[in-house]
């Protein structure tokens, strides 16, 4: 079963070092996160899979890596200076600030309805380029990677000799000064996008829009997100961005949040290339482009058949890496009961949980929302015991739980059975797993086992595009559980039989079955199953 709450993922990411709050030792920075040792591997594997599918496996794509800082005029003519705004309101009572469309007329901090009228807030971060901060040095951090593609359209076309239709793909950082960053990685101020601008003949854009929708859903499926878990939202005209003729939002069913956008696929017409072009009056543009007196180029394509210069239309599939990361984790997450715990241990946990919830209900020091959140979570766990027992760890990591004395007793009762009868496992596709193979010696103080295990790790790693690790820091059962929790598909154990006949066991993460094979065959075995 996929994760049921966002807290389960937050807790896993913290516990196992996937994601850290940025500059945590100084109190952090709201809406900014760092990728830890396992997070960076999973994120890079997601990006590689996207790049392989969209650039290498197609014959109509080129790649690009444009700079984050761009001439300010880019953002004037793209329309962002004027329109990249969110509606901001102030609470007159507690002085907090909110995004008007997220709060339904009531301050989430103090409950007041005494709010200012919404006013536009431009979300682009501003900076200065060079030693003097003045009008000439003013620049923005890009709020999307797309514009780097549009302004390079002529360069790519001239150097690649592409014919329409073709696309340009790019992965890179984007920055938005979100009014209220929230929900962990879902809405942040610094994030990465995987964007494609696909250029087509005018008149063929609807057909290509549908084809890209299908192609993108197939990719999501290939990384473990079934179609049934994504709703396609055909964005109504009054919600469309200023550049879009039609947009399909792919809405993944996130735990806690419900269906939210993970990718947008927009039909952007000739708006962008038109807006960044000079001599617009000669281009027969269909979009209401921004009049441009600064551009030095006509971003057109010479069509040999009609012998005319035309402005291509654009289909843009654009996904956020962080939102994708969260969806992949949510879908892969599983808390499995490996063996049923004995009834007396379940009773003991039930009693301890009931006592904890009573203490929460009686605690006057907790804010009402904190109390309600703890009680709601705890009741859901209580109703689902024993299967929900591992969720007690997440409950005890929730805000306010550390102020409840009976929490220690609950942890004491639950930890033993959780370790003994459950496992957390990430059923990640092998090509995404942060670590593909973990190699263990059966005993860490046996020189023969240790050196064979170390040599095998090196042999599997050498020349591979995935990560292989050696670990001898615990008993085998514990090592298996640790690797299950981070999604390692294969655990290889070197035992005494290995020293005699050169074979090892390979354990499958999902079935927990072990097969024995010559050590020399392991690399081929785990590679072929990528
Ligand atoms: N070039 C088009 C564009 O930027 P968008 O819908 O604003 O469109 C595309 O963003 C994707 O970027 C979204 O579907 C989402 O996955 C991701 N994204 C946007 N804002 C984000 C934020 N503040 N935090 C995390 N991801 C974000």
Confidence grade of residue 135 (pLDDT, cut at 50, 70, 90)? confident
DSSP codes, 108-173 = TTT----BPPPEEEE---EEE-SSS-STTTEEEB-S-SHHHHHHTHHHHHHHH---SSEEEEEEEE
**Separation of 184 CA from ligand 1 center, angstroms?**
15
Reported as a single tens digit per residue, the pLDDT across 10-30 is 989 999 999 999 999 999 999
Gap from CA of 241 to ligand 1 centroid (Å): 12
pTM score of the predicted model: 0.93
pLDDT at 303: 95
Determine which helix (DSSP H) or strand (DSSP E) holds 396, and give its type and residue range: helix 391-396
Taking the centre of ligand 1 as the mean of its atom positions, its distance from the CA of residue 146, in whole angstroms, is 11
Question: Is 178's C-beta closer than 6 angstroms to any atom of ligand 1?
Answer: yes
Q: What per-residue confidence (pLDDT) applies to 295?
A: 98
For residue 67, the CA-to-ligand 1 centroid distance in Å is: 18
Q: How confident is the model at residue 528 (pLDDT cuts 50, 70, 90)?
A: confident
Would you say 179 and 129 are in contact if contact means Cβ atoms under 8 Å apart? no
What's the mean pLDDT in 372-394? 94
Q: Cβ contacts of residue 505 below 8 Å, gap of 6+?
A: 492, 493, 495, 514, 515, 516
N- to C-terminal Cα separation, the chain: 23
What per-residue confidence (pLDDT) applies to 266? 98
CB-ligand 1 contact for 146 (6 Å cutoff) = yes
- Collapsing DSSP states into helix, strand and coil, what is residue 341? coil
In order of 56, 122, 138, 146, the CA distances from 177 in angstroms are: 34, 8, 17, 18
Cα 314 from Cα 150, distance rounded (Å): 10
**Whether pLDDT at 85 is above 90:** yes
The residues near 93 (Cβ < 8 Å, ≥ 6 apart) are 107, 110, 112, 114
Burial bucket for residue 462 (CB in 10 Å: 0-12, 13-18, 19+): exposed
Residue 253, ligand 1, Cβ within 6 A: no
**Residue 382 pLDDT > 70, yes or no?**
yes
Distance CA 378, CA 12 (A): 18
Confidence of residue 377 (pLDDT cuts 50, 70, 90): very high
Q: Rounded CA gap, 57 and 70, in Å?
A: 30
Ligand 1 near 193 CB (within 6 A):
yes
- What is the whole-number distance in angstroms between the Cα of residue 320 and the centre of ligand 1? 5
How many residues can be counted in the chain? 530
The Cβ of residue 183 has, within 10 Å, a number of other Cβ atoms equal to 16
Window from 133-137, 485-489, 519-523 with minimum mean pLDDT? 133-137
Instruction: Check pocket membership of 261 for ligand 1, CB cut-off 6 A.
Output: yes
Check pocket membership of 142 for ligand 1, CB cut-off 6 A: no
**Overall average pLDDT of the 58-83 stretch:** 97
Establish whether residue 197 lines the binding site of ligand 1, counting it when its CB lies within 6 angstroms of any ligand atom. no
According to DSSP H, which parts of 203-292 are helical?
Answer: 205-222, 271-275
**122 contact partners, CB below 8 Å, separation of at least 6:** 81, 84, 85
437 has which bridge partners?
A: 468, 490
Q: What is the mean pLDDT of residues 368-373?
A: 93
Distance CA 151, CA 153 (A): 6
CB 77 within 8 A of CB 276: yes
Report percent pLDDT > 70 for the chain.
Answer: 99
Q: What is the pLDDT of residue 305?
A: 93
| Whether the predicted pLDDT of 211 surpasses 70 | yes
Residue 218 in 3-state DSSP?
helix
Q: Which of 33, 232, 233, 323 to mutate to test the pocket of ligand 1 (most atoms within 8 A of CB)?
A: 323
Cβ atoms of residues 530 and 431 within 8 Å: yes
Instruction: Give the residue, by CA position, lying nearest to ligand 1 atom 16.
Output: 320
Residue whose pair of structure tokens reads 């904890």 in the numeric block: 356
Q: Is 493 in the pocket of ligand 1 (CB under 6 A)?
A: no
Query: What pLDDT, on a 0 to 100 scale, did the predictor assign at position 530?
Result: 61
Return the closest-CA partner of residue 76 out of 138, 134, 154, 130: 138
Round to whole Å and give the CA distance between 526 and 4. Answer: 31
Q: Whose CA is nearest to atom 24 of ligand 1?
A: 187
* 216 touches ligand 1 (CB under 6 Å): no
CA-CA distance, 482 to 473, in Å (whole number)? 11
Confidence band for 134, pLDDT divided at 50, 70 and 90: confident
Element (H, E) at 192: strand 190-200
Burial of 15 from C-beta contacts in 10 A (0-12 / 13-18 / 19+): middle
What is the average pLDDT score of the chain?
Answer: 96
The answer to whether the CB of 443 falls within 8 A of the CB of 475 is no
């Amino acid at each position: 079963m996929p994760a049921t709450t966002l807290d389960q993922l937050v807790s896993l990411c913290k516990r196992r070092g996937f994601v850290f709050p940025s500059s945590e030792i100084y109190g952090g920075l709201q809406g900014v996160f760092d990728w830890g040792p396992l997070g960076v591997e999973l994120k890079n594997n997601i990006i590689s899979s996207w790049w392989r599918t969209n650039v290498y496996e197609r014959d109509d794509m080129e790649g690009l890596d444009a700079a984050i800082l761009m001439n300010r005029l880019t953002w004037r003519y793209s329309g962002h200076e004027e329109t990249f705004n969110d509606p901001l309101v102030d609470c007159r009572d507690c002085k907090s600030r909110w995004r008007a469309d997220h709060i339904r007329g009531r301050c989430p901090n103090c409950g007041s309805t005494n709010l200012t009228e919404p006013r536009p807030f431009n979300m682009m971060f501003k900076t200065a380029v060079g030693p003097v901060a003045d009008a000439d040095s003013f620049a923005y951090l890009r709020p999307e990677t797309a514009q780097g593609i549009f302004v390079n359209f002529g360069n790519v076309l001239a150097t690649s000799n592409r014919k329409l239709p073709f696309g340009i793909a790019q992965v890179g950082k984007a920055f938005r000064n979100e009014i209220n960053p929230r929900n962990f990685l879902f809405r942040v101020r610094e994030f990465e996008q995987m964007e494609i601008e696909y250029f087509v003949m005018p008149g063929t854009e609807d057909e290509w829009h549908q084809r890209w929708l299908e192609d993108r859903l197939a990719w999501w499926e290939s990384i473990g997100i079934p179609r049934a878990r994504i709703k396609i939202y055909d964005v109504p005209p009054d919600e469309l961005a200023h550049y879009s003729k039609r947009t399909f939002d792919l809405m993944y069913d996130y735990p806690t949040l419900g269906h939210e956008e993970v990718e947008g696929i927009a039909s952007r017409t000739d708006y962008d290339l038109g807006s960044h072009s000079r001599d617009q009056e000669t281009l027969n543009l269909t979009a209401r482009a921004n009049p441009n007196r600064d551009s030095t180029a006509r971003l057109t394509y010479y069509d040999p058949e009609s012998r005319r210069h035309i402005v291509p239309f654009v289909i843009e599939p654009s996904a956020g890496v962080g939102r994708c990361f969260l969806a992949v984790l949510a879908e892969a997450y599983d808390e499995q009961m490996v063996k049923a715990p004995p009834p007396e241990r379940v009773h003991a946990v039930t009693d301890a949980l009931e006592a904890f919830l009573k203490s929460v209900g009686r605690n006057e020091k907790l804010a009402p929302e904190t109390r309600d959140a703890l009680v709601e979570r705890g009741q859901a766990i209580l109703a689902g015991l024993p299967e929900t027992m591992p969720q007690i760890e997440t409950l005890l990591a929730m805000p306010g739980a550390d102020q409840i004395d009976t929490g220690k007793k609950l942890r004491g009762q639950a930890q033993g059975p959780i370790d003994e009868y459950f496992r957390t496992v990430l059923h990640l596709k092998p090509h995404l797993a942060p670590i593909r193979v973990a190699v263990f010696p059966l005993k860490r103080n046996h020189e023969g086992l240790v050196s064979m295990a170390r040599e095998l790790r090196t042999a599997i790693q050498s020349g591979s595009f995935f990560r292989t690790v050696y670990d001898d820091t615990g008993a085998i059962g514990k090592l298996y559980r640790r690797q299950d929790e981070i999604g390692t598909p294969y655990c290889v154990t070197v035992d005494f039989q290995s020293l005699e006949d050169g074979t090892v066991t390979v354990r499958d993460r999902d079935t927990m079955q072990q097969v024995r094979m010559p050590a020399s065959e392991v690399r081929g075995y785990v590679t072929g199953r990528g």
